[in-house]
Structure formats: C-alpha cells, structure tokens
Chain A
Amino acid sequence: MAYVSMGEAHRRITDYLNRFSDAVLSQDGASLKLLLSVSSNSPSLLSLADALNVFQDATRLIKHSDSYSQFAEILVPLFRSLHNYRLGNLIDAYQAFEKSANAFIQEFRNWDSAWALEALYEVAYEIRVLAERADRELASNGKSPEKLKGAGSFLMKVFGVLAGKGPKRVGALYVTCQLFKIYFKLGTVHLCRSVIRSIETARIFDFEEFPKRDKVTYMYYTGRLEVFNENFPAADHKLSYALKHCNPQSTANIRMILKYLIPVKLSIGILPEDWLLEKYNLVEYRNVVQALRRGDLRLLRHALLEHEDQFLRSGVYLVLEKLELQVYQRLIKKIYIIQKQKDPSKAHQLKLEVIVKALKWLEMDMDVDEVECIVAILIYKNLVKGYFAHKSKVVVLSKQDPFPKLNGKPVNS
C-alpha cells in the first residue's frame, strides 16, 4: 500500500465526495455506478481506499458539508466498506456495504425517474459479490456463511422497490437475475418461484421490454429450473430463447446455456453436432451423444460414470441417465435393420435372445427377464411399436414405423 500523505488523502476523499454529489445532482447514473463498485478494484477506488486508511476521520468530513451530509447514510458505511475491502476484511466490508445499500435504496425510492438504475444494478451486483466473498471468509473461519442469504433478502427488498409500475420496473429483471444467482448458489431454488410469478404474471409490462441481457439470464435460470422439474419442452423453450438471444461473443455464457440445453435436447431426441461440443468445450457430452447414435449402452454408462460428479453437480445426471431407454431403442433398431437386411419377411419379429446376445457383446450382463422387462418398458413408453409375446419370447414390431422418433417430444413417462 503506497504511502499517502494526509493532504493527498484529504484531497482524494473530497474528490470522491464531490464526484458522488455531482453524479447525484446531475442524475448521472453511469458515473454514480463507478463510484459504488466496491469490488471492481478500479484504480480510483483503490486510491480512495488507501486515502481512507490514512485519513481516518472521513465521517466528519462528510458530515461537515451540507452537500455531502445529505448522503451521509450512504457514504459513511460505503467508506467503511471500501476501507475494509481494501484491508481484506470482507465480512465487515459486506456488512458496511449492506448498510450503505439500504440507505441507497431509500434514496432511490425517492427519485422519481429511473436515472439511477445503473447505479442500482451496481449495488445489487456488489452486494451479491461481496456477500459471496464474505461467506467464503466466514466459512474459512469455521463460521456459518449466512451473508449471501442476507443479500438475498436485501435484493428481495430491492425487487419490491422496482416491481411496481413505472419507469423503474425495467430494473426488476436484473435484480431477479441476481436473486436467481443467489438462490441457485444457496440451493434454495424454491424461493425463485415467487419472483418468477411476479415477473410472468405482470401484465403491465411486456417481458420483451426488459433489457436483453436480463432476459437471457432470466431464461437461462428459469430453463434450469425446468430441467429440475423434468419439464423438458419448457426447458427447451427457455434455454433455446436464451441461446438465441445470447450475445454470440460471450462464449462462456453460451457454454453455460448449452450445458443444460444439450441434455434437454438429447432427451427429446435431438442430437448435437460434434463441432458444437468441441467449440464450446462440452466434451463430456460427446460419449453420451455417441452412445445414443450407436445404441451403445456400455458407452453411455461409462460416460455417465466418468463424469458422474460433474453431472450430479450441474443437475443433469438424471436427465442423461434417462437416455438409456433411447439407447436401447437404438440398439433394437439396429438389430432390426440388420435382421431386415438378412430376411425382410421376418424382420418385424425380434427374438429376445438376439437382444440378450447383443447386450452380451456390449458386456452388459442381463438375463432374459431383465431384457424382457426393458422391452416391455420400451413398448410401454412408445419407443417401440409392437408387442411382446411372452410365450415365444419374441418382440413383434409394428410394420409401420416400429421405432417412432421423439421429434422434440419427451419420452412418455
């Protein structure tokens, strides 16, 4: 930390205060935003933090001047937050920032126009980021991390400020997205529901009027929620929307979307090209897709096992596991095709033992009963058209379209 003279410190602090009050008075949201981004490590804020370290009595400075003292509620804790952030006291930094943010919201409520939305976004973002860091520090101290939860309730409050009618409403989606991030991180996704409801049921504001950035984020998270709910068509719709509107430059975001969209698409029978997986570094799906193409049950199981942790964490494991039936279908279809080439007239009658043998080749040790069960399930789920004759242990396939394609519809459950 560079040495800062008292005079220099004083100059920096007053400079900041001037910029702050100028920004508010001129309703300049963009420059106000810069002044609030505690965690941005911007040079000006860093130097201010150093100055605060030297000049301990900034509070008096603020309270002395009328033009600053009206923002004392915001600025005093903000300075404390900056200072603590600079010193690495993340917990204190968060706490002070939350105080400052509360005061800011109070002010924001009083501003009729939405000029300060940018700054509010920054506050919402900062509070989440600071809370995450504070939680990390708490956890490393062996204490229970609870700041993110606190940030969640703060953002709920902000959402309340924005969600009404009026020009500020466009900011609601941004806050919603920050909330989603918090809830997903905390594993309390059920809390998303109320926010979603108020976004989706509100008739006074068209969803399309929200900023694109927020719409994409929103669709991404709600799409993920639909994956959890195993509502694949809806998940497909939302994630596709997100993909379509996502900035093509931000590959990381696209990858995040694809991470969920691919399993969803797979489960409704749509396979991605290899290049897509390569391009976005989603190679963990390659074997899964390969298994689906080939009807290779062993490969699928292997792929699942290999990336089990990853899939479990992202929450797509069970989605991928359900692809097994499609793999069976593919396998039987292949047997059918081969059989058809050998003897077209008998092609629609598939002997169970053939399937068992095929599975044996795949090193899947399954007995007749089990395979019979699988076949029954395939027929039941409409992945195979036909019936099973128990007596003769034969699958009798329909002559028309014995292996119907999913065509974007999920497997019957």
Chain B
Amino acid sequence: MMNQGAETLATVDPSSLENRYVINGQGQASSYPPSAAGSEALSWTTHRVDNSSTENGIPSNSTYNYDPHMQQPAAISSSLGSSSTQQDYNGYTSYSNSSDPYAYGSTGYQGYYNNNYQQQTNSYQQQTNHSYSQPVGAYQNTGAPYQPLSSFQNTGSYAGSSSYTSTYYNPGDYQTAGGYPSSSYNNQTSGWNDGNYANYTSQQYANYTPDTNAVYSSGTAPATSVNYQQHYKQWADYYSQTEVSCAPGTENIAVNSTSNFGTSTGYPTFNSQPHPPYNQSWRPESVPSEVPPVQSGSVVSGAYDGYWKHGAPTAQIHNTSPAQPHFQKPLEQKSSYDSFQDQQKTACPQGPSLQYPASHQVSHLSQSPQVPHLSQLPQVPQLNPVPQTYQSPVQTAPSLDTRRVNKLQIPTNPRIASNLTFGITKTDKDSSTISAAAKPAYVSVSLPKPNEKTPSSTGADSMLKPGMFPKSLRGYVERALARCKDETQMMACQATMKDMITKATADGTLYTRDWDIEPLFPLPNSDDDNKEILQGTTPISILPKFKRSPNRRSKSRWEPLPDEKPIEKPAYANNNALKYAGWMHANEKDRKTLNFGSKDNNSNNTKFLSLEQKGASKIIQRPVKKQRHSDGLGAVENGDASSDSDKEQGLTAYYAGASALANSPEERRRRESRSKRFEKGQGHRTETNHHKAKNSGAGNLYARRAMISKNFEDGASRAVEDMDWDTLTVKGTCQEIEKRYLRLTSAPDPSSVRPEEVLEKALLMVQNSQKNYLYKCDQLKSIRQDLTVQRIRNQLTAKVYETHARLALEVGDLPEYNQCQSQLKVLYAEGIEGCHMEFSAYHLLCVILHSNNYRDLLSSMSRLSDEAKRDKAVKHALAVRAAVTSGNYVMFFRLYKTAPNLNTCLMDLYVEKMRFKAVSCMSRSYRPTLPVSYIAQVLGFATVVPANEGSDEKDLDGVEECVEWLKAHGACLITDNNGEIQLDTKPTSSSLYMPEPEDAVSHGDASLAVNDFLTRTTL
C-alpha cells in the first residue's frame, strides 16, 4: 500500500507528499511520544531521500525498508509515553498505514510540492516558532534556529507553509479521527464546521484544493480534540472505526490547531503554487477521501519537527495547527496576515503565535462552537491553553506522522526532511521535559507570552486568565473592536491591536500604559485588509515575496520587527483580490464562530489542562523547552539562523541516498552541534524570561535523558558517545567503477558507495587513466570518500592516498598533497604498510622548502628514525635541506637531477627561488663576467647535461632558456669577443629582481585552469 501510495503521490499532492514526510518523520521518531530525537532524525533523513527520489520521478524502494523500522520505533515510543498514548499510537500506526494509500492523491502535486515545500517549510518553521514561542516560552528558542530559513521574511512563503501545515495536519487529523474516510470526517466537520467547514469547503474547495485540505484537517482536528478532552468515549468509537488510538489523534488535533497561523498564511501559498494541477487533483481526492489531506498534515508535522530542533514539540504543534488554520483563516488571516505581510518577518511570529493558541483551543473544544473560537482564538486566549494542549498534541502528532511515514514513502523535500530531523530531536527533548511535570510551569510561562503578542489573543487570555492583561487593555480592545462594522475591519483591528500590544509588551508599557485613555487607532480600511488576505492566499503574491526574501532577511535579522507595515499589503492584495473573493465569506463566517468559541475554548482548555495533568504520564507532552518572547527580533534572528542550517540540510538531503542518512554519526553530530549553537543563541533571548530559561534548561536535560532512554528502543537514536560505530558503518553496494566526487553533507547512501573490491578497480582505473589531473583528482577524492565512509583503513587506503599524493605532487597541487600527507601520516602511524620512507622524504622536503619553519624542521628531523636516515629518499631530502640552508645551489641542482621518486616535483617548486638566490650570489661574487653557459649548467637549465662538473658540454636549449630567465630577472648580459653570452656581474648585482610570476592566477592556483574547471563541471 505504502509503496503504491508513495508512487502515486509523487505525481500528485503536495499535501500527500508532505504527509508522507511526516509519516516518515514519525516512524523515525517512533520514539516520538517520548521524543527520540535521534530516531526521528534518522527516519527523516531517509524520508528525504525517498522524497528526493520521488521528486526526480524515481520512487525509491529504500523508503519501504524504513517502514518496518518506523513502526517498531513508534510502538516503542508509545510505550514511553503514557500507556494510553501508546495504545492510541499503536492503533494509529496501523491506521496510518491504511490511510497512507490515501495520501496520494494527485500526482501533480508532488512537483508542486517540492517547489513550495521548501519555502513553505521554511516559512513554516518560522511561523511555528513564533506561535509556539509565544505560548510556550521554550518554544521561541527552538523556533529561532528554524526561522533562519528566511521563510519568515517572505510572507508568501509563509502562507505557503501554513497551507502546507494545514494539509499536513489534515492528514494527521484524519488519521486520528479515523481516517476516516469521509464518513468520520463528515461527522467531525459537521460538528465543527457548522460554519467554517461548510463555508470553506464550498468556496475554498472550488478555488483551492489546498483549502479544502485545510478545512478538512480543521474539521478533523476539532473533532479529535473534542473527543480527547471531553468525549473520550467518542474517541473510543472513533478508534474502533478508524482503529486510530485516541490519544494520538487528540494530540494531533491539538497540534493542528496550534499551527493555525501558519496555515492561514500558508494556505494561500499552497493554493497558488499548485494552482491548476492542484485544484483538479485535489478536489476529487480531497472530498471523497480525506485521507490525502491527512497525509499532508502528517508531512507537515514532520517538517516542523525538523525545524524545531529545540522545540520539537512546538514544531509538531505547528503541524497540527495547519488543519485549524483553515478555520481560523478568515479571522486570523487578517490579523496574522497583516502582521505577516507587513513585516513579513515580524508579523509572522506574532501571527503564528496567535493562531497557534487558537488552534489549540479549537482542538480542545473539538466542538463546533469551538471552531469558530479557534479562528479568533488564535489571536487571543489560546496562547495559554495552547502550551498545554500543545505539548500533548504535538507529541502525538509526530508519532502519528512517523507511522504514516513508515508506510508512506513521502517524496519529501530534502530541506523539509532535514528540518524534520532537527525538530524531532528537539521535540524529544521537549517531551521529556514536559513529562517531568514541567507542564504546570509551562502553562504559566506560556500565558504571559500570548499577551504580548496579540491584542486578540489578549482578549482571549483575559477570558481564560483574567490576570494576564490589564483590564484597561481589555476594555481598549473591546472598544476598538466595537467600532468595526464588518469582519474585515474587525480583522484589521485585531491585527493593529496585536501590533500595539506587541509593541507595548516589547517596550514594557503594556501594564503601565493607561489603556483607558489611549486613543483608538484609526479604523483600518477593510478593503486593504481583504486584499492582504487575498494576497496571502494567492500564489502570485507569494512568489514575489519569496524573491524578496533575501533582501528582507538581512533587515529582519537586525531590526526589531516593524510594528506596522500595512503599506506593502495593498499592493500584494490586488493581485489576488479577485481570485479570492470567495475567501472573504468564509472568513467572515469563521470569525463569527470563532468569537463564540473563545470562551468555550477557554473552558475547554482548562479542562484539557487538568486532564492532561492527570494523565500526564500518558501524554507525551513536550514541554516547550525554550519559551520565547514574542518580540520579533528574537524570532527573526532565530529564523535566520535556522534558515542557514536548513539550506544546508536541504542540499544534503537532496544528495542523500537512502535510509542511512539519518543514522550517520556525522550527521547526528552535526545536528547536535547545530542545536547546541542554537541553544546558545537562545540563551540571550531568554534573558527576559526566567521561566523560559529554566524551562529550556530542564528541557535539555530531559531531552538528553530521553535520548538515552530511546537508545533502548531505537539503536539509531543513541547518543553520539554511546553509538556503536560498527553498526553504523556504511557497507557500500555500488558497483560503478567511476564515480564523481561530491562532498557529502549528509550521511552516505550505501547504494552510491563502492565496496572495497570496486574501489580497488577504481584505483587501477585512475592509475591507468589517460585523462587529466582534475579528472583523476576527482575520482581519487570519491574513492577516498568511499573509503572513509566505510571506515576502510588498510593498505588499499594507504595506496589510494599515496597515489593521490603523488599525482598531486606531479602537478604541484600542494593543498591536495598536504591532505593526503596528513592522512598518510596517521595511516603509517597505525602501522599500515606503504611507502613510508618515500613520504617522509616528501614531508621533509615540504617543510624545508615551503614552510621554512626552523622549529618544524628541527622536530621533523629529530623524529626521523635511524632506519629512515638510511633511506635513499630521506637521505636525499636531508641533503637537499643542507644545500638549501647553506645556499649551495650547485649541490641543490645536482640533487635535483638525481632526485628519487617525486622529490623532483617538490624541489621544482623551489627552483625559482634557488636560482634567484644563486644568481644574486654569483653577481656579487664573480667578476668581471660569468658565462651564461656555466650558469645554465650549474642552475639546471641544461636538462641533458650529465652532471659532470667542469665539463663544457652544454645544451643550447638550456642556455637559451637560461638567457631568457636571466633577462626576465633583470640581469645584464653581454656578448664577449668569442660570441659567448656572458653575465655582466657588477651591474647585474644591483639590477636583479624577482618578476611577478606570469602564470599567476588571482585565485592563486595556476593549476586550476578555467577550462579545466568548466569541463569538470560538465562531466
């Protein structure tokens, strides 16, 4: 099933693809609930591989392999989590498998997906981070790394991502809900939607397939959440039907809700990108089988996970949120959107946060009333509840995803996959922290943040927790909203207030300002807002934003988030306004419902919390490790940072082969170090919030512990120190003799690694090859790489390095030679046989001739063994050293001619200097003249001359060359009576100079000719 699904998917839905991703991630994460970052990462990587393959149009079987692993881990993870979760999970997995086939939907999607995906994922991450951070202090930190991707900057991308999430989520929701097939779906939606769903589907669907997905997800999400919170029984029913375990489902749902922001923004992108293919493929699929959306949802979550190294849980949450975003979209879109679009960067964080909370609430509410709330909630109260709900949902979502992943071969984008891996690890950590009873603390922490972010959110917060915002502020908000004549205005108002409150929070005036006398801001033009919203939805608008992202990025990094940036919005909006007119209606409806729900949500949330606490054990809750302030700066910075790493990862993922990826120790270590880096950066941001800092610290600890615990479950997720390297060593299967070198940026793929026998052949091939050095160098490097990744260290290794070193010497490629030399040194030290003496001679020559470091020379000389000193090559090298230190040019050039091995090549590099020294010495010492023929002979110009001193035998060519050389160096030449050319020493002594080398290249490596370079790249 999975295979089929994956294949089909490839062509089809981005959403489905995403879902697959997610699934993969989950499967990897198998430990998910507990938060086995490592395992998740691993699975992800594999996914990536698969994805890439699918993208290419070649579905890889390798993914399949994963599935078993994934599932197993999942089960394990479930065990880690509370028992209830485990069960659920298990059920889930099975479910996901069945659902997997769904995912797929339209083939067209994939291509689309891939493109958008990266962007979306990027944006996603940012969004998630923001939203997350707000609710949960810890989150922000985690989010930070991610954000770097730059998705932030681009609202468009943002939107895309959000849409993705929604799609992703849906999958998740679906599965949980029961996968439902349409029936279960309908139920949920019906309860839910009431308003939202219906609207969405009808309008959005027609226009946007993605929308439908989102809608779906939202519908499911609520349902699940509802079940979770209140109606466990219902869940049970669901389960029985769907086979999905309740807990996972609920968790997923919650997650979905959180991701709302993202979805709303992302949504538009989604639609726009897929456009034509999307709509078509989607509609049919989405409607009948909601499965596709579900898958996408899962995918999203996975992506999120990756992003969230630190706050893996948050990432997951985001994922879930996508589903909700649809609901919320109408309301949120405006507010969040505005902020997003305006500042793109700044706005994003805020927007997400708001939505996030909302989504949570929604999930909790799960009831129809809640849904509406959710849409509004995002802005308001949700934040507080969100954290709590978040944790649990988030965790579950990942697990679900992974399972799905197992079965589904998701054509994930490399970047996403990479992100996922990251997130997973973090999530794990988070979850661990949460489990530690971090929840209560968590909640409290999260509360303050939401307030900061959005006015709407504040309102919600106040509902939930009266203490959060000053009463006066609430009143202010109410007054402001009361002015609004229609939905769009309301949304605009909310957005503005969000900005205001964020500002106030940032400058600390939130509580000191007298909101009662604060003048109301001018009512924003609803049209503009609408336009903006439209923009978000429209693909077109998104694209331009994307392009701009680089520019903005730099800005975002250092500047505080701009509070108001409405100016840009209108322009964007115009494009899409017409297309998306339909949206507005939906939004309106949503909003209404949302308003209702906010209160309900709150209540639900609280209930939820209590439930969660009671059943903490079951809940995998990922504590939000790093809570972040809503302030845009931090978020932006984080975003930037993460973007870099994401890119890196994305690239690697592209090239990554199959399953081995995630497991590779290098990769893991890299990830670890990266995440550490981020943690450091986060530390700064957490200054303001002590709670956050503590949480994050706890989170780390937990995460570590979680990692260890996971080891039992999943070998792949072991801590680096504990890793059994032997089991991780790649065993190559590639039979190609010729292979181009490509620097590995991720774990090697066994199918592209050659085993030793093949490498031997490859070495022979290179040795006998007639092609140029660059080709050989390339081939040898790939051989070296294959040796390294397989940890082959034997005579063959030495031979390869020796061969390469010799080749490099022949062409004077010192950097490459030095690499080989240092490797050889180690190899020889390990007792591996090779041409030790030859290379100690080279080493000596290198030190003498090129480093000219007295101490190095001494130490390498003192290290020579007696045996070495008797070696011909070493003796020669020592003699050369003596000649050089004493300036004995005659000796030098004599040694030059009798040099064994490739000593000549190294000496070659010193010849020019030596000649110059010699001639300046001669011009000082000889009077009145010196025959050039003698100079040519002594200084090695006469190539044919046997080294007979005093012989007058001379090679005319040599003399000519010498004359050329002398002229080039400013020597004065005269012809004596016999017609013999003489060096006029006296004037020469003052006129000699060292000319600039003619073949100098700006990059300093003459051997790297442009033509060679070009031919090389086209090989």
Check if B858 sits within 8 Å of A312, measured CB to CB: yes
- Distance in Å: Cβ of A131 to nearest Cβ of chain B: 22
> Is A358 in the interface zone, CB < 8 Å from B?
no
- Among listed B20-28, B61-69, B391-399, B919-927, interface-contacting one: B919-927
- Distance in Å: Cβ of A182 to nearest Cβ of chain B: 16
> CA of A150 to CA of B634 in the docked complex: distance in angstroms?
37
Check if B886 sits within 8 Å of A389, measured CB to CB: no
Name the B residues within 8 Å of A373 (CB-CB). Answer: 888-891, 938
> Is A409 in the interface zone, CB < 8 Å from B?
no
Q: Which of these, A230, A309, A324, A390, contacts B934 with CB under 8 Å?
A: A390
> Is B855 in the interface zone, CB < 8 Å from A?
yes
Q: Which of these, A317, A368, A369, A380, contacts B925 with CB under 8 Å?
A: A380
Name the A residues within 8 Å of B891 (CB-CB). Answer: 370, 373
Check if B950 sits within 8 Å of A368, measured CB to CB: yes
Name the A residues within 8 Å of B855 (CB-CB). Answer: 189, 228, 315
> CA of A377 to CA of B882 in the docked complex: distance in angstroms?
14
Check if B861 sits within 8 Å of A387, measured CB to CB: no
Name the B residues within 8 Å of A230 (CB-CB). Answer: 854
> Is B931 in the interface zone, CB < 8 Å from A?
yes
> Is A125 in the interface zone, CB < 8 Å from B?
no
Q: Which of these, B862, B890, B929, B931, contacts A372 with CB under 8 Å?
A: B890
Name the A residues within 8 Å of B890 (CB-CB). Answer: 369-370, 372-373
Q: Which of these, B885, B889, B924, B926, contacts A390 with CB under 8 Å?
A: B926
Q: Which of these, A322, A374, A379, A391, contacts B888 with CB under 8 Å?
A: A374
- Distance in Å: Cβ of B35 to nearest Cβ of chain A: 35
Within 8 A of B (CB), among A361-377: 367-370, 372-377
Identify the closest chain A residue to B854 (Cβ).
A228
Check if A318 sits within 8 Å of B854, measured CB to CB: yes
> CA of A318 to CA of B889 in the docked complex: distance in angstroms?
18
> Is A151 in the interface zone, CB < 8 Å from B?
no
Check if A321 sits within 8 Å of B882, measured CB to CB: yes
- With A369-B950, A370-B949, A388-B925 known to touch, is A312 a contact of B934 (CB < 8 Å)? no
Which residue of A189, A367, A370, A380 has the most chain B CB atoms within 10 A of its CB atom?
A380
Number of A-B contacts (CB under 8 A): 80
> CA of A389 to CA of B922 in the docked complex: distance in angstroms?
11
Check if A389 sits within 8 Å of B927, measured CB to CB: yes
> Is B857 in the interface zone, CB < 8 Å from A?
yes
Identify the closest chain A residue to B950 (Cβ).
A368
Give the interface size bracket for B toward A: 20 to 34
Check if B862 sits within 8 Å of A313, measured CB to CB: yes
Q: Which of these, B885, B889, B930, contacts A322 with CB under 8 Å?
A: B885
Check if A377 sits within 8 Å of B857, measured CB to CB: no
> Is B887 in the interface zone, CB < 8 Å from A?
yes
Check if A377 sits within 8 Å of B886, measured CB to CB: yes
Name the B residues within 8 Å of A367 (CB-CB). Answer: 949-950
Name the B residues within 8 Å of A324 (CB-CB). Answer: 886
User: Could you mark each residue 884-901 of chain B with 1 if its beta carbon is under 8 Å from any beta carbon of chain A, else 0?
Assistant: 011111110000000000
Main secondary structure of the interface of B (DSSP, over half): helix
- With A315-B858, A390-B934 known to touch, is A325 a contact of B926 (CB < 8 Å)? no
Q: Which of these, B857, B921, B928, contacts A380 with CB under 8 Å?
A: B921
Q: How many residues of A contact B (CB 8 A)?
A: 34
> Is B770 in the interface zone, CB < 8 Å from A?
no
Which residue of B854, B890, B922, B950 has the most chain A CB atoms within 10 A of its CB atom?
B890
Check if B889 sits within 8 Å of A187, measured CB to CB: no
> Is A249 in the interface zone, CB < 8 Å from B?
no
- Distance in Å: Cβ of B394 to nearest Cβ of chain A: 43
> Is A400 in the interface zone, CB < 8 Å from B?
no
Within 8 A of A (CB), among B948-999: 949-950
> Is A229 in the interface zone, CB < 8 Å from B?
yes
Name the B residues within 8 Å of A313 (CB-CB). Answer: 862
Q: Which of these, A229, A372, A378, contacts B854 with CB under 8 Å?
A: A229
- Distance in Å: Cβ of B324 to nearest Cβ of chain A: 54
Within 8 A of B (CB), among A318-336: 318, 321-322, 324-325
Name the A residues within 8 Å of B938 (CB-CB). Answer: 369, 373
> Is B859 in the interface zone, CB < 8 Å from A?
yes
> CA of A322 to CA of B888 in the docked complex: distance in angstroms?
12
User: Could you mark each residue 235-275 of chain B with 1 if its beta carbon is under 8 Å from any beta carbon of chain A, else 0?
Assistant: 00000000000000000000000000000000000000000
Q: Which of these, A228, A368, A369, A376, contacts B922 with CB under 8 Å?
A: A376
Check if A377 sits within 8 Å of B927, measured CB to CB: no
Identify the closest chain B residue to A393 (Cβ).
B950
- With A369-B949, A389-B927 known to touch, is A318 a contact of B888 (CB < 8 Å)? no
Name the A residues within 8 Å of B924 (CB-CB). Answer: 376, 379-380
Which residue of A189, A368, A373, A387 has the most chain B CB atoms within 10 A of its CB atom?
A373
> CA of A375 to CA of B950 in the docked complex: distance in angstroms?
16
Identify the closest chain A residue to B863 (Cβ).
A312
- Distance in Å: Cβ of B92 to nearest Cβ of chain A: 49
Q: Which of these, A189, A312, A378, A380, contacts B861 with CB under 8 Å?
A: A312
Check if B885 sits within 8 Å of A318, measured CB to CB: yes
> CA of A317 to CA of B928 in the docked complex: distance in angstroms?
37
> CA of A309 to CA of B863 in the docked complex: distance in angstroms?
9
Identify the closest chain A residue to B892 (Cβ).
A373
Name the B residues within 8 Å of A312 (CB-CB). Answer: 858, 861-862
> CA of A327 to CA of B926 in the docked complex: distance in angstroms?
21
Identify the closest chain A residue to B882 (Cβ).
A321
- Distance in Å: Cβ of A305 to nearest Cβ of chain B: 10
Check if A318 sits within 8 Å of B857, measured CB to CB: yes
Check if A322 sits within 8 Å of B886, measured CB to CB: yes
> CA of A372 to CA of B931 in the docked complex: distance in angstroms?
14
- With A370-B891, A380-B921 known to touch, is A325 a contact of B858 (CB < 8 Å)? no
> CA of A375 to CA of B890 in the docked complex: distance in angstroms?
12
Name the A residues within 8 Å of B922 (CB-CB). Answer: 376
- Distance in Å: Cβ of A366 to nearest Cβ of chain B: 9
Which residue of A189, A376, A378 has the most chain B CB atoms within 10 A of its CB atom?
A376
Name the B residues within 8 Å of A391 (CB-CB). Answer: 929
Identify the closest chain A residue to B889 (Cβ).
A373
Within 8 A of A (CB), among B825-872: 854-855, 857-859, 861-862
> CA of A228 to CA of B853 in the docked complex: distance in angstroms?
9
> CA of A228 to CA of B856 in the docked complex: distance in angstroms?
10
User: Could you mark each residue 174-197 of chain A with 1 if its beta carbon is under 8 Å from any beta carbon of chain B, else 0?
Assistant: 000000000000010100000000
> CA of A379 to CA of B854 in the docked complex: distance in angstroms?
25
Check if B925 sits within 8 Å of A379, measured CB to CB: yes
Identify the closest chain B residue to A316 (Cβ).
B858
- Distance in Å: Cβ of B263 to nearest Cβ of chain A: 52
> CA of A388 to CA of B930 in the docked complex: distance in angstroms?
10
- Distance in Å: Cβ of A12 to nearest Cβ of chain B: 42
> CA of A87 to CA of B464 in the docked complex: distance in angstroms?
66
Check if A321 sits within 8 Å of B885, measured CB to CB: yes
Identify the closest chain A residue to B886 (Cβ).
A324
Q: Which of these, B857, B885, B925, B934, contacts A387 with CB under 8 Å?
A: B925
- Distance in Å: Cβ of B959 to nearest Cβ of chain A: 15
Identify the closest chain B residue to A225 (Cβ).
B855
> CA of A377 to CA of B930 in the docked complex: distance in angstroms?
15
Check if B925 sits within 8 Å of A376, measured CB to CB: yes
Check if B926 sits within 8 Å of A389, measured CB to CB: yes
Name the B residues within 8 Å of A389 (CB-CB). Answer: 926-928
Name the A residues within 8 Å of B930 (CB-CB). Answer: 390
- A-B CB contact pairs (8 Å), 24 listed: A187-B859, A228-B854, A313-B862, A318-B854, A318-B857, A318-B885, A321-B885, A321-B886, A322-B886, A368-B950, A369-B890, A370-B949, A373-B891, A376-B925, A377-B886, A379-B924, A380-B887, A380-B920, A380-B925, A387-B926, A389-B927, A389-B928, A390-B929, A396-B927
With A228-B855, A378-B925 known, 18 other A-B pairs at CB within 8 A are A189-B855, A312-B862, A313-B862, A315-B858, A317-B858, A318-B857, A325-B886, A367-B950, A370-B949, A372-B890, A375-B925, A377-B886, A377-B888, A380-B925, A387-B927, A388-B926, A391-B929, A396-B927
Nearest first, the 6 A-B pairs at minimum CB distance are A376-B925, A312-B862, A369-B949, A387-B927, A379-B925, A373-B890
Chain A residues close to B by CB (< 8 Å) = 187, 189, 228-230, 309, 312-313, 315, 317-318, 321-322, 324-325, 367-370, 372-380, 387-391, 396
